[in-house]
Amino acid sequence: MVGPLLRSLFSTTKKSLSTPPRFRLQEPGATRLWRPFSTSTATSAQDTVSIDPSLDPSRLRNVAVIAHVDHGKTTLMDRLLRQCGADIPHERAMDSISLERERGITIASKVTAVSWKENELNMVDTPGHADFGGEVERVVGMVEGAILVVDAGEGPLAQTKFVLAKALKYGLRPILLLNKVDRPAVSEERCNEVESLVFDLFASLGATEEQLDFPVLYASAKEGWASLSFTKDPPANSRDMSELLDTVVQHVPPPTARLDAPFQMLVSMMEKDFYLGRILTGRIASGVIRIGDRIHGIRATDSAIQKIEEGKITKLMKKKGTSMVLIDSAGAGDIISMAGLAAPSIGHTVANVEVMNALPTVELDPPTISMTFGVNDSPLAGRDGTHLTGGKIGDRLMAEAETNLAINVIPGLSESFEVQGRGELQLGILIENMRREGFELSVSPPKVMYKTEGGQKLEPIEEVTIEVNEEHVGLIMEALSHRRGEVVDMGPVPGNVGRTRLSLTCPSRGLVGYRSVFSSDTRGTGFMHRAFLTYAKHRGPLGNVRKGVLVSMGFGTITAHALMGLEARGTLFVIPGMETYDGMIIGEHSRDTDLDVNPVRAKELTNVRAAAKDENVKLSPPRLITLEEAIGYVASDELIEVTPKAIRLRKRYLDVNKRKSMTKKPKE
């Protein structure tokens, strides 16, 4: 009798202990961590589970590093990563694209995370060139603070003003870092002068009182230290970046975001992976995201919210140091990458399936120049490349426009595409990438995009900063006067005897192709920086900025015998043994008119012995045109033929009679 009774009592007690927690009574005042019988799956998942302390937004700091080109952003990022224990495989570790490492510039914005004491810092490295300003514009909305890096020797320049204006517009809290203070020419007086120039720049851009109260640090990113006070040789125990990192934690506010709200994220970057598909990167605006959550992509149209695609999170990733790390969950305010959706792109919102509100997108400045990309139809087409058709070229350009919002692609007539961008460098990088991928194409010269307001024609005007030796000033000012440049300011460079700094405004069309001419005129000793300023009244036609060209009228292999007779006519672009065809440009004429020549003429063979042989021909080294030079060099009636192995210049119309008839037509 006792045995069965005890067994029944034991089983009753076991059942009561194993009762699911949702049926237990809640004690008064206890925190409710679960919600029974909830109908909303995604929201309840976030409300029912206790918040992980690692997802607390108060421990996050989102910071962008912004500066003018070559002021030391990427080197600074290297030192910050090394300070926080990341393994740096090589210098400029953030420049992961092959073209970035070759040219020593930053082309695309990149995000990485580092841990400092109890906080996690999401750092964004941005480009410094004006042509890649769209990369800066789309990432400033992801961060709360910015480290403004200024070269203590050069001071704030044109692109400093551009990136700072974007940062202040979004209400970021800036930190001023005067870099390269270890240089001999940089003194404390010079640093104070640069600091006052930056303060004036802040004020002129409409900074708030809170933004004007910015901390100032002095650093040498190359030597790997930063200090709150001016010094050229800090003590050994403080030769690191700890003071800069502490300033970021103290001065930059943590993201204001709610973890208990539904998940929303604005896509700011996108890349494609052969295994994972489309990887979307952005900052989480609200809520918590976990692997396996149901989400969808939405975008705002003129009339309503459009649903793009619904799916499930398959991977969550976060860049830590120089490597990508898989994570299980992420909270509001954090910058993460996700895989699982195939259709959403930059500017779209990714959210829980019940959320139908799209986040506001970033407004980008309009493009200023355009080029037409078309099928290569020259007689040498198809010899080098693998992607030759208009369809392949169009698909590649559309894919580029999807990942780079600063580029617009408009299909044109006869398998051609108008590509609009910020500058010839940006479009030159696109052409170079396509060329390396095996594309063959013909490219038109850049055209400036005009505006018409109130019946008046407006053109883009750029702000140009030039620093040259005194003996080159006259030559540079004469060249820019032909290009409709107007001098705004001129004076000596502080700390550099014999150097002069010019500030000008010049139409964008006048600066196309000028960089290579500038390098030649200054013997490589000058530097020129430019940034878009505004649209203003059209300044009239340009002066004489280029001579005529030598045009081939023969098909075949170029001979040394023919080039020997052509050297006196101008500067050659070709060498013996290269292939040519009717209408190809082989050199620059010494006069202002074009000249048709025959570079394939061979030496006639006779039975008379001659003292001179072909081996005696000595030619001057030719001027081999690079892609950037070609983009700036070609005139409106010419094209650039781009193949994986060669860059050739040619006339739009290859037949000489067709060219002559087209020149007689009145220009539009």
67-113 per-position pLDDT tens digit = 887 787 788 888 888 877 766 666 666 666 777 777 777 788 888 88
**What integer pLDDT is reported at residue 592 of this predicted model?**
86
pLDDT of residue 666: 55
> Nearest Cα to 503, choosing from 452, 564, 547, 462?
462
Side-chain half-sphere of 402: how many Cα atoms within 13 Å?
16
161-171 pLDDT per residue, tens:
888 888 888 88
- Which structure tokens are listed for 241? 């970046």
| Section 420-444 average pLDDT | 90
What confidence category does residue 405 fall into, taking pLDDT thresholds of 50, 70 and 90? confident
* Rounded Cα distance, 516 and 4, in Å: 100
Would you state the pLDDT for residue 129?
77
C-alpha of 71 from chain center: 16
**Which pLDDT belongs to residue 95?**
64
Instruction: Name the residue with tokens 């604005």.
Output: 266
Residue 35 confidence (pLDDT)? 34
Say which residue the tokens 């979307």 belong to: 280
Q: pLDDT for 511-567, tens place per residue?
A: 887 887 888 888 888 888 887 888 889 888 887 778 889 999 989 999 988 998 898
Which of 300 and 665 is assigned the larger pLDDT?
300
In what helix (H) or strand (E) does residue 42 lie, and over which residues does it extend?
helix 41-48
| Among the listed residues 575, 577, 587, 582, the one whose alpha carbon sits nearest the alpha carbon of residue 557 | 577
pLDDT at position 613 is 58
pLDDT of residue 358: 87
User: What pLDDT does 615 receive?
Assistant: 59
pLDDT of residue 7: 44
Confidence of residue 419 (pLDDT cuts 50, 70, 90): very high
Average pLDDT, the chain: 82
Residue 532 has phi, psi (to 5 degrees) of -60, 135
Q: Which of 115, 123, 126, 127 is nearest to 145 (CA)?
A: 123
CA–CA dist 73, 103 (Å, integer): 15
């004020």: which residue's tokens?
A: 203
Place of tokens 């000008």: 504
Could you tell me which residue, 99 or 427, shows the higher pLDDT?
427
**pLDDT at residue 1 is higher than 60:** no
User: What is the pLDDT at residue 222?
Assistant: 84
Select the more confidently predicted residue: 317 or 610.
Answer: 317
How far apart, in whole angstroms, are the C-alpha atoms of residue 583 and residue 597? 10
C-alpha to C-alpha distances, 251 to 141, 200, 334, 467, 662, nearest whole angstrom: 18, 21, 18, 35, 64
Q: What is the distance between the terminal CA atoms of the chain, rounded to a whole angstrom? A: 112
Amino acid (one-letter) located at 354: E
Instruction: Give the pLDDT of residue 104.
Output: 74
Residue whose token pair is 């309503």: 304
Q: Are 651 and 660 in contact (CB under 8 A)?
A: no
Of 228, 115, 119, 122, the C-alpha closest to 175 is 228
Phi, psi values for residue 285, rounded to 5°: -80, -35
Please give the average per-residue pLDDT across 398-414, as a whole number. 87
Among 279, 278, 263, smallest CA distance to 334 is for: 263
From 180, 173, 164, 183, select the one nearest 215 (Cα to Cα).
Answer: 173
Report which of residues 15 and 97 the model is more confident about.
Answer: 97
Both tokens of residue 561? 């015998």
Count CB atoms within 10 A of the CB of residue 566: 20
pLDDT of residue 600: 92
pLDDT value of position 442: 93
- Reference 109, options 539, 353, 403, 540; nearest CA is 403
Give 48's pLDDT tier (boundaries 50, 70, 90). very low
Quote the percentage of the chain above a pLDDT of 70.
Answer: 88
Predicted pLDDT at 418: 92
Comparing 196-200, 477-481, 510-514, which segment has the lowest mean pLDDT?
Answer: 510-514
DSSP string across 154-214: T-S-HHHHHHHHHHHHTT-EEEEEEE-TTSTT--HHHHHHHHHHHHHHHHHTT--HHHHS-
Residue 244 confidence (pLDDT) above 80: yes
Q: CA angle at residue 662 from 658 to 663, to 5 degrees?
A: 120
Asked if 634 and 423 count as a contact pair (C-beta separation under 8 A), the reply is no
Q: Using CA atoms, how far apart are residues 151 and 593, in angstroms rounded to an integer?
A: 45
Average pLDDT of span 306-333: 88
Three-state DSSP string of 529-581: EEEEEEEEECCCCCCCCCCCEEEECCCEECCHHHHHHHHHHEEECCCCCCEEC
Fill in the amino acid letter for 68. Answer: H
Q: Which residues, 6 or more positions from 173, have their beta carbon under 8 angstroms from its beta carbon?
A: 144, 145, 146, 210, 211, 214, 251, 252, 253
H helices within 404-483, ranges in order? 424-436, 473-482
State the SS3 of 329-362. Answer: EEECCCEEEEECCCCCCCCCEEEECCCCCCCCCC
Query: What's the pLDDT at 642?
Result: 93
d(CA 521, CA 340): 54
pLDDT at 23 over 60: no
Q: Determine the average pLDDT of the residues in 263-292.
A: 88
Q: Using 50, 70 and 90 to split pLDDT, how confident is the model at 238? A: confident
pLDDT digits (tens, 9 = 90+) for 198-227: 999 889 888 888 888 899 999 888 888 888
